[in-house]
Amino acid sequence: MKKLFSLFSLALLTMSAWGAVGVTSLSEANALTDGENFTFNGNAVVTICWKGSVYLNDGSGYGQITNYDGTFESGQVLNQGWNATKTSDNGWVKFNDAADLSASGETNAALAAAQKLTSVDESLLNAYVYAENVNKSFLPIRSITLPDGTKLSLTGTGNQPAMGNYNIYGIIWKSGDNLVFEPVAWETYVEPPVYLRGDVNMDGNVDIADETDLIDYLLSKDATNVSLENADVNLDGSVDIADATSLVDYLLDKTWPEEVDEMVYTVAGFESVFGSNWDPTDENNNMVKGANGVYTWSKSGVALTGNFEFKIVGNHDWSVYECPAGAYNNYVVNVAEEGVYTIDITFNPEAEEANRITCNLTKTGDIEHVYTVAGTYNLFGEDWDPNCEQNNMVKGDDGIYRLTKAGWFEEGADIRFKVVQDHNWDHAWPAEDFAIGVYKTGAFNFEIVFNPYNNDEDKVHVVITEIF
Which phi and psi angles does 250 have, rounded to 5°?
Answer: -65, -45
pLDDT at position 259 is: 60
Q: Which fold has domain 22-111?
A: OB fold (Dihydrolipoamide Acetyltransferase, E2P) (2.40.50)
User: What are the tens digits of pLDDT across the range 397-430?
Assistant: 998 999 999 999 999 999 999 999 989 898 899 9
Q: How many residues does the chain have?
A: 468
pLDDT at position 291 is: 82
pLDDT at position 327 is: 80
Q: Which CATH number fits domain 371-466: 3.10.330.10, 1.10.1840.10, 2.60.40.10, 3.30.70.270?
A: 2.60.40.10
User: What are the tens digits of pLDDT across the range 70-124?
Assistant: 889 999 999 999 999 999 999 999 999 999 999 988 999 999 999 999 999 999 9
Round to whole Å and give the CA distance between 286 and 128: 29
pLDDT at position 9 is: 38
Task: Give the H or E element holding residue 361.
Answer: strand 357-365
Reported pTM? 0.47
Is residue 1 pLDDT above 50, yes or no?
Answer: no
Give the residue-averaged pLDDT of 360-378.
93
User: What are the tens digits of pLDDT across the range 221-260?
Assistant: 998 889 999 999 988 778 999 899 999 999 998 888 766 5
Q: Are 80 and 42 in contact (CB under 8 A)?
A: yes
Round to whole Å and give the CA distance between 192 and 195: 9
**Domain 371-466 in the same topology as domain 265-365:** yes
Domain boundaries of the chain, sorted by first residue: 22-111, 114-188, 192-262, 265-365, 371-466
- For residue 117, which of 155, 77, 150 has the smallest C-alpha distance? 150
pLDDT at position 453 is: 86
Report, in angstroms and rounded to the nearest whole number, the Rg of the chain calculated over CA atoms. Answer: 30
Percent of the chain with pLDDT over 70: 95
Q: Which fold has domain 192-262?
A: Type 1 dockerin domain (1.10.1330)
- CA angle 391-395-398, nearest 5°? 150
Kindly report the three-state secondary structure assignment for every residue of 58-85: CCCCEEEECCCCCCCCCCEEECCCEEEE
Is residue 363 pLDDT above 90, yes or no?
Answer: yes
Give the residue-averaged pLDDT of 118-141.
92
User: What are the tens digits of pLDDT across the range 297-336?
Assistant: 999 999 998 899 999 999 999 988 999 988 889 999 999 9
Please state whether beta strands 151-154 and 143-145 pair in parallel, antiparallel, or not at all (unpaired): antiparallel
User: What are the tens digits of pLDDT across the range 252-301?
Assistant: 988 887 665 688 999 999 998 999 999 999 999 999 998 888 999 999 99
Which phi and psi angles does 260 have, rounded to 5°?
Answer: -90, 135
Residue 134 CA, chain-centre distance (Å), reads: 34
Q: What dotted CATH number matches 114-188?
A: 2.40.50
Give the residue-averaged pLDDT of 448-460.
92
Question: Given phi > 0 = left and psi -120 to 50 = alpha, else beta, which region is 253?
Answer: alpha
Is residue 5 pLDDT above 50, yes or no?
Answer: no
Q: What dotted CATH number matches 265-365?
A: 2.60.40.10
How far, in Å, are 207, 210, 235, 249 from residue 213 at the CA level?
A: 10, 5, 18, 16
